[in-house]
Amino acid sequence: MKELRFDLSQAKTIRRIRQQTDSWSPLAEGQIIAQKYLKPIVCHAGYDVNGVKQAVVWANSGELTGYFEIIDVSTNKQPPGKPSVVYRGKLKKWGRHIWGGNNYIADFSDFKKEGVYWIKLSVKETKETSESYIFEIRRNFYLDLAKKAAKWFYYQRCGVEVPGWHKACHTQDAVILEDGTKIDATGGWHDAGDYGKWIGSGSHGVWALATLAELLLEEGLEKDARAVLDEATWEGKYFCKIYYGKLKTFLQVFTSAKNFQLSDEYPPLENVCIWLGAPEKEPPRVVTLKQALEYYPQTLYLRSHVSASLAKLGRLVSRYDKEFSEKCTSIAKEVFEYVTQSEPTDRDKRSYLLFVSRTTLLGLELYRITGSEKYLRKAEELVQEILSLQDREGFFYMNREKKVKYYFCEHHLVALYEYLKSRPRGDLVVDIEEAFRKWANYIKPLSKLSSFSQVGYIDEKGDVRNLFPRKSSNRFLAAYAWGLATAAILFENREYLEIAEHQIQWILGLNPCDVSMMAGVGAGPGCYHHRYCFIEGHEDGVVPGGVLCGIVGGDGGVFDIGDFRTGNFVVSDRLPVDYPIIDTDARGWTYAYMTNEYWVLNNAWFIMGATQVHRALRKLNI
């Protein structure tokens, strides 16, 4: 039997992503992408009244002389009437780039009037221009986006009817123990554009929703906070169901690969890859304990993070649901004792930074709940371990041997910040602040690679690239937004905050594809990787508030951005290095999961990033 790999000769269908170079004027030397006509690229969702507000303009090989105008589109003035111009500014040269050639910036950060607008260019060189996408300027912009992203989780519910979307699904999911006893594994969230229920991803979602709820409670928005906590509780109760106390772990359900087969030639797949129907039509996921443990090896850092998210959720819902809160805390305590007394597995050692970070979060949450010094002492010990893994340049190491560099924002920085919140005058405050300063200054140059200010990527050879190659990028960019906004809070630094804002704005349309990657906000790619496309009434694939995996960069070679295991290939065929790739050619469904799929981690980190940017704007009194 053949093993299916990415080989064009094995394809059932092939769809190639085409390079966009057809344009209104000659391209600059080395330019790899262009617009068909001159159009300002904006953040489709809009801008915060007090935040950074910029648009990007591409001039190809030429120069532009003229200005830009902001038009109030709510006045409904049509030619020959004069439009309502509310702002006029000069285009500022940014420099030359492989995206768009000569780049210009239209900066209107000093314009602070709420409303609905678009940008119009007035330049001498051409009349082949178009207005920008229509956008809003409003207060609490980032908080509203976080709430929108939070609502997406409701549509992902499993085991229950979601009115207007699907009927009750997977109502017999279970894990069978050695003695034949069944653990009820119904409920939880569908993890992504498929119907898998991955607890590792889910813990990110619960933590992010709880973080948003904390902010909403701080701002007196208890009704909104309750709604967010109710959604987190849906997943939290699933965690409690699948908690297996004997091993102090959380069990995973999935569909056996034996149930599905591509053809007589190719081996079977689990249905998460190829099932294209509504979720209620999919068979139940019933696995044995042995299968669950073998398929999804249990690490200590997984246990820690799921338990930390449960503890945080339990702390916040204690005023509303004491019984559930106590259940969350009880599980978190059991897991803490197990994790801190166990020898790390090989996977924990390879991801040692994640292990110590997530266990720190667990300890800090238990300290907040119980006030017990033993949890704080352990957290302090682990915080010192995190600090020891930072290089003098600012990045961290993933393993104790300091062989694997890790410069992304992840839970190690979240853990340091949470410790600061718990011990604002503790002995480690200065060291933690210095760690944030070094990390932020290491990342800052990576945000200057293009006029869009997205944080770039350092590959295995140490080469700097504009885009993530073959990697879901939006969750990392949103995490950078959290880290840089946190640095802005700690040091009251406006520059860090602006970089943080740009990461969120990139996701929402201020990018070289001029595409919003939050469904239902702005102009999306037109196609989505979600099985809901096959539900009547949702053929367009738009699941409101869902954040897509994001743009990836070409590498000059041939690779598939779709699920090649199905044999339906969506291919980057020798597109230039850093050519921005997202599927915009299909309508409704696409196999291109790498760029166009929804995922719990995307929404979780988007919520984290948008929430922290909102905090930073408030802290800096901007």
How high does pLDDT run on average in the chain?
A: 93
Say how far apart CA 349 and CA 398 lie, in whole Å: 9
Say how far apart CA 329 and CA 337 lie, in whole Å: 12
Count of structural domains within the chain: 1
State the pLDDT confidence band at 567, using cuts at 50, 70 and 90. Answer: confident
Whether the CB-CB separation of 570 and 15 falls below 8 Å is answered with yes
In-domain check, residue 298: yes
Say how far apart CA 310 and CA 331 lie, in whole Å: 8
Say how far apart CA 603 and CA 198 lie, in whole Å: 15
For residue 429, the one-letter residue type is V
The C-alpha torsion from 68 through 70 and 75 to 81, rounded to 10°, is -10
**DSSP result, 69-85:** EEEEGGG---TTSPP-E
In this prediction, residue 471 carries a pLDDT of 81
| Structural domain span for residue 246 | 153-339
| Residue 598 confidence (pLDDT) above 90 | yes
Contacting residues for 546 by C-beta, under 8 A, at least 6 apart: 152, 155, 518, 519, 520, 528, 530, 598, 602, 603
| Residue 265 confidence (pLDDT) above 60 | no
In-domain check, residue 227: yes
In-domain check, residue 551: no
C-alpha distance from residue 379 to each of 7, 125, 131, 376, 415 (Å): 48, 61, 53, 5, 9
State the pLDDT confidence band at 622, using cuts at 50, 70 and 90. Answer: low
pLDDT per position as a tens digit, 337-363: 999 999 999 999 999 999 999 999 999
Tokens of 181: 């006893």
In-domain check, residue 538: no
In-domain check, residue 57: no
In this prediction, residue 294 carries a pLDDT of 84
In-domain check, residue 71: no
Whether the CB-CB separation of 586 and 526 falls below 8 Å is answered with yes
In-domain check, residue 249: yes
pLDDT per position as a tens digit, 461-511: 899 999 998 888 999 999 999 999 999 999 999 999 999 999 999 999 999
Say how far apart CA 474 and CA 319 lie, in whole Å: 35
Phi, psi of 60 (to 5 degrees): 60, -130
| 342-363 as b/e: b if 16+ CB within 10 A | eebeebbbbbbbbbbbbbbbbb
* Strand spans (E) along 98-139: 101-107, 115-123, 135-138
In this prediction, residue 270 carries a pLDDT of 52
Neighbours of 589 (CB within 10 A): 20
User: Looking at residue 199, which CATH number applies to its domain?
Assistant: 1.50.10.10
Whether the CB-CB separation of 608 and 45 falls below 8 Å is answered with no
Q: Which of 330, 336, 441 is nearest to 378 (CA)?
A: 336
In this prediction, residue 223 carries a pLDDT of 97
In this prediction, residue 264 carries a pLDDT of 54
pLDDT per position as a tens digit, 148-205: 999 999 999 999 999 999 999 999 999 999 999 999 999 999 999 999 999 999 999 9
| Choice between 275 and 128, residue whose per-residue pLDDT is larger | 128
Whether the CB-CB separation of 335 and 298 falls below 8 Å is answered with no
Say how far apart CA 528 and CA 537 lie, in whole Å: 15
In-domain check, residue 204: yes
Give start and end residues of each alpha helix (H) in 156-279. 199-218, 222-242
pLDDT per position as a tens digit, 22-58: 999 999 999 999 999 999 999 999 999 999 999 999 9
pLDDT per position as a tens digit, 102-121: 999 999 999 999 999 999 99
pLDDT per position as a tens digit, 204-233: 999 999 999 999 999 999 999 999 999 999
| Residue 101 confidence (pLDDT) above 90 | yes
